[in-house]
Structure 1
Amino acid sequence: MSQPQQKPVIGVSVGDVNGIGMELIIKTFSDTRLLEMCTPLIFGSNKLVNFYRKQSPETNFSYQTTKEFSRIAHKQVNLFNCWEEDISIVPGQLTDVGGTYAVKSLTMAVEALRDKKIQGLVTAPLHKKNTQSATFNFTGHTPYLKDAFKVNDVLMLMVSDNFRVGLVTEHVPVKDIARYITREAILSKLNILRDSLVRDFGIDKPRIAVLGLNPHAGDEGLIGKEEEEIIKPAIKDAKHQMLVFGPYSADAFFARGYHNRFDAVLAMYHDQGLIPFKSLASGEGVNFTAGLPMVRTSPDHGTAFDIAGKNKADNTSFIASIYTCLDIIRNRQEYDENRQNPLKKMGAVVLANAADEKIDESGRTTRRDLTF
C-alpha cells in the first residue's frame, strides 16, 4: 500500500515591496484551509510582513520564521527570512529599493525551487523598470526562469479553467514583433504547448488553435505575408506531431467563441492574446511558465501601485495561482506514475472512454463527436 504523500511546499516570492504582492499573500493565507493542501513558504522578511499586516487589520494572518528548510512547519505559513536590514517601504512608489528586494526574494525562491527544497513557486508581481540591472537583465519572470533553469525555450501560458492562451512573443515592442515570428519560434512554442497540455493538464490529444499575425489573418497575402510564408508552413510541419489548426483571424476567433472548441490557443504577441484572455477570464487568470522542469505560476496582473497599501487588492487571481500550481504538480505526478506503470494508465483510459460514450436511440453505444 502506497504511503500518503507529504503536502507540497509552495514557495512564494513577494514581488515589489511597494506593490500589492504582500497584501495578496496575507489575504490569501489568512484562509487556513489552504494549509490542508500545501505548506506555504514566503521569501521575504519579518519587517515587510508586519508592515503590511498592519494595513490589513481584519485579517487573521500568522506565520513562523525559519532560515532552514529542514525546519519548515507543515501546519503553518512559513517565512524564509531573506534579509534582516531595515528597508524603506513606500506603498505605491516605484523605487530602487522596491526592485532590489523583489529580485532578492525571487532569486532566493528560484534557487530553492532549483534545489527541490520547494515543489512549486508562485510569484507576486514585480515591476520591470526597477528590477533591471547588470546582474538581473531580464524583461520579466519568464525570461529569467528560462535562464535560471538553462532550458532552450519556455512558453508564457495564461490559464483560466479550460481557457488557455500561449504567446509566441512576450514583452516585445510592437514595431519589432514581426521579425520574431519565425517558423522555428512557432514550432518551438507549439511543442512546449502540446507537451504541457498532455503532462501538466492531463489532456491526451490536445487540440491547439493558432492565430494569425495580421488583420484577417493576412487575407491570403493581401494584408501581410507572414501567414502564407511563415505561420501556415509551421502549422503544416506541426501537424505531423499534434492536432493543430489555423491560422485564425484573432478578432473573429474570440468574438465567435471559437476558443471554447480548443484546449489552447497560440497567439503571436502579447496584447493579441492577453486582451481577450483578461477580458474573458474575469479576474481569475493565472500566468504559468510552461517548459520548465518545475512549476511556477503567478497572478495575471501587475504591481497595482495605485491601490498599494490601501487594503483594496483583490486576491482572486493569486488564489487561482496557488490552486493551478497545486493542480499541475499533481497532474505531473500522475502522468509520471502512469508512464512508469502502463497498466494503471490503461485502466484510466478505459474509465475515460466509458465516461465519454453515450447510447443513441437504437441502443447502440457511440462516441461523442469532438470534431471542429
Structure 2
Amino acid sequence: MTILWTIGDINGIGPEIILKSFMKLERGEQFVVVGSFKVLQHYVDVLSLPVQLKRIKNIEAISTMDAAQKVLPVLDVGKSIRLTQGKVSASAGELAMMAIERATTLCLMKRADAMVTAPIHKEAISKAGYSFSGHTDYITYLCGSDFSQMMLCDRQSKLKVVLATVHVPVSKVSALVRQDGIEKSIVAMAESLAKDFAVQDPRIAVLALNPHASDGGVIGNEEQLTLEPQIKKLQKNYRVEGPFASDGFFGTASYNAFDAVLAMYHDQGLIPFKMLAFETGVNVTMGLPIVRTSPDHGTAFDIAGKGIASEASFIEATLMACEIARARQMQNEEGQ
C-alpha cells in the first residue's frame, strides 16, 4: 500500500512531524513525501534525525524500493525555495498547494492508495494566488466533487464529530442551518461510516443549536422549525436522534452511545473533541473518491524548527488513512 504525505507549509511544523512519524511507524506500507527534497534534508540535518532520504522523479520509482528499509522517498514538485521559518510566505503556500495537486492526481489515477496532508497556512496560499479557503476545498475541486465535509475522528475515544457549519461567523450559523438543513450531512455521515469504518446502520446524534435545546421554544426556535422536522424525516431511513443540548450531551459522555455526532457550528463540536483528543484527533474528508486524512492541528509557526513538535496526530492520521484504504479495497474486492 502506498501512502502519500504532502509536505504542508515548510515554514511550519509539517516537515518535522513527517520525519518523526516516519521514524516511529512500522515498515509495511510505502510512504512517499510529496514536496521538496532539499527542505526535508535541511530538517534532517538541523534536527539531527536518523532518516535517510531519496529523491525520486516519479511515483513509479518506488517499485524498486524496499518498504522495509529505512529510506524515505521524496517526490520533488517545485523549484528551490528559501525557508523563512515561522513566517507567512507566498512561495511556501505555492509549494504546499503544488504538493496537494500532485498527490491528489496520483490518488485519482490509482497510483497511490491514500494521502495525508500536513498543515498549510491559509494566508500563505492566498498570497500565492489561490482563491480556495484551504486544502480541503482545493482537493474537492481537483476531485470534481460537488460536496465534501470533514469528520473529526479519534481512534482512542472512538468519538466522531461532523460540523453542519464550519468556518463561518457565529452570527451566520442560524441562517445557514435554516437554509441548508442537516440532511446532506447526515447522508454523508452514514455513507462514510459504512464505507470507511464498516459501521452499517450507524446511530447518529444531532446537537441542538440553542442552549437547553431551546427549552421548547423559549430560547430560539431552530429546533422546532428546522432540526426536529428534519430528524423525523431522516428517521425513515437512518437512525438519527436529537436534538440534544450539547453541554449535557458531552458532560454525561452520551457520545459513547453513538457512532457519530453532528454539531451545528465549529466550537460546539471542536472544543469538546479537542479536550478529548487534542494530540490524537484526525480529520477525515467525507465525500471524496479518494482517501484523504490530516492531523487535527495547524502549522504551529511559533515552534517551527525547534524540534519540539508532536507527531502524534500525524501518525494517527496515517494509521487511519491506511485503515480506510484497506476497508475500501476490501469492499471493492467483495463487490467484484
Corresponding position: 1:13 with 2:2: no
Query: How far 1:93 moved relative to its partner?
Result: 1.3
Report if aligned partners of 1:55, 1:310 keep a CA contact under 8 Å in 2. Answer: no
Residue in structure 1 matched with residue 27 of structure 2 by the alignment: 35
Residue in structure 2 matched with residue 269 of structure 1 by the alignment: 265
Residue in structure 1 matched with residue 15 of structure 2 by the alignment: 22
Give the Cα–Cα distance (whole angstroms) in 2 for the partners of residues 219 and 179 of structure 1.
20
Q: After alignment, is 17-26 or 180-189 more displaced?
A: 180-189
Query: How far 1:325 moved relative to its partner?
Result: 0.2
Residue in structure 2 matched with residue 54 of structure 1 by the alignment: 45
Unaligned runs of 5+ in 2: none
Corresponding position: 1:78 with 2:69: no
Give the Cα–Cα distance (whole angstroms) in 2 for the partners of residues 170 and 24 of structure 1.
26
**Within 5 A, what are the aligned runs for 1:111-150?**
111-132=105-126, 136-150=130-144
Residue in structure 2 matched with residue 287 of structure 1 by the alignment: 283
Report if aligned partners of 1:153, 1:188 keep a CA contact under 8 Å in 2. Answer: no
| 1:316 partner letter | A
| 1:200 partner letter | D
Report if aligned partners of 1:124, 1:298 keep a CA contact under 8 Å in 2. Answer: yes
Query: How far 1:299 moved relative to its partner?
Result: 0.5
Query: Which residue, out of 143, 150, 154, partners 1:156?
Result: 150
Residue in structure 2 matched with residue 258 of structure 1 by the alignment: 254
Residue in structure 2 matched with residue 64 of structure 1 by the alignment: 54
Give the Cα–Cα distance (whole angstroms) in 1 for the partners of residues 175 and 82 of structure 2.
42
Residue in structure 2 matched with residue 194 of structure 1 by the alignment: 190
Query: Which residue, out of 93, 96, 102, partners 1:108?
Result: 102
Query: How far 1:166 moved relative to its partner?
Result: 0.7
Aligned residues: 329
Give the Cα–Cα distance (whole angstroms) in 2 for the partners of residues 339 and 182 of structure 1.
39
Q: TM-score, normalised to structure 1's length?
A: 0.85
Report if aligned partners of 1:183, 1:230 keep a CA contact under 8 Å in 2. Answer: no
Give the Cα–Cα distance (whole angstroms) in 2 for the partners of residues 122 and 163 of structure 1.
20
| 1:13 partner letter | T
Corresponding position: 1:328 with 2:335: no
Query: How far 1:83 moved relative to its partner?
Result: 2.0
Give the Cα–Cα distance (whole angstroms) in 1 for the partners of residues 301 and 32 of structure 2.
24
Query: Which residue, out of 245, 249, 254, partners 1:249?
Result: 245
| 2:294 partner letter | S
Residue in structure 2 matched with residue 368 of structure 1 by the alignment: none
Give the Cα–Cα distance (whole angstroms) in 2 for the partners of residues 273 and 47 of structure 1.
39
SS at 1:30 equivalent: helix
**Within 5 A, what are the aligned runs for 1:83-98?**
83-85=78-80, 87-98=81-92
SS at 2:182 equivalent: helix
| 1:298 partner letter | S
Query: How far 1:135 moved relative to its partner?
Result: 5.2
Deviation string, structure 1 residues 164-197 (Cα, Å, up to 9, x no partner): 0011111112222222214644100100100111
Query: How far 1:105 moved relative to its partner?
Result: 1.6
Greater relative CO, 1 or 2 (CA 8 Å, sep 6+)? 2
Residue in structure 1 matched with residue 36 of structure 2 by the alignment: 45
The 4+ residue runs of structure 1 with deviation greater than 6 A are none
Report if aligned partners of 1:41, 1:80 keep a CA contact under 8 Å in 2. Answer: yes
Give the Cα–Cα distance (whole angstroms) in 2 for the partners of residues 291 and 306 of structure 1.
33
Deviation string, structure 1 residues 263-297 (Cα, Å, up to 9, x no partner): 00011111111110010114100000011111100
Report if aligned partners of 1:139, 1:171 keep a CA contact under 8 Å in 2. Answer: no
Q: After alignment, is 188-197 or 40-49 more displaced?
A: 40-49
Q: TM-score, normalised to structure 2's length?
A: 0.93
| 1:216 partner letter | H
Deviation string, structure 1 residues 67-121 (Cα, Å, up to 9, x no partner): 1221113424211011242x22021112222222211222222222222221100
Identical aligned pairs, as a percentage? 39
Give the Cα–Cα distance (whole angstroms) in 1 for the partners of residues 253 and 281 of structure 2.
18
Q: After alignment, is 64-73 or 317-326 more displaced?
A: 64-73
| 2:101 partner letter | T
Report if aligned partners of 1:201, 1:328 keep a CA contact under 8 Å in 2. Answer: yes
Report if aligned partners of 1:154, 1:189 keep a CA contact under 8 Å in 2. Answer: no
Deviation string, structure 1 residues 4-32 (Cα, Å, up to 9, x no partner): xxxx111111111100000000111123x
Q: 1:330 to 1:290 in 2, by over 3 A?
A: same
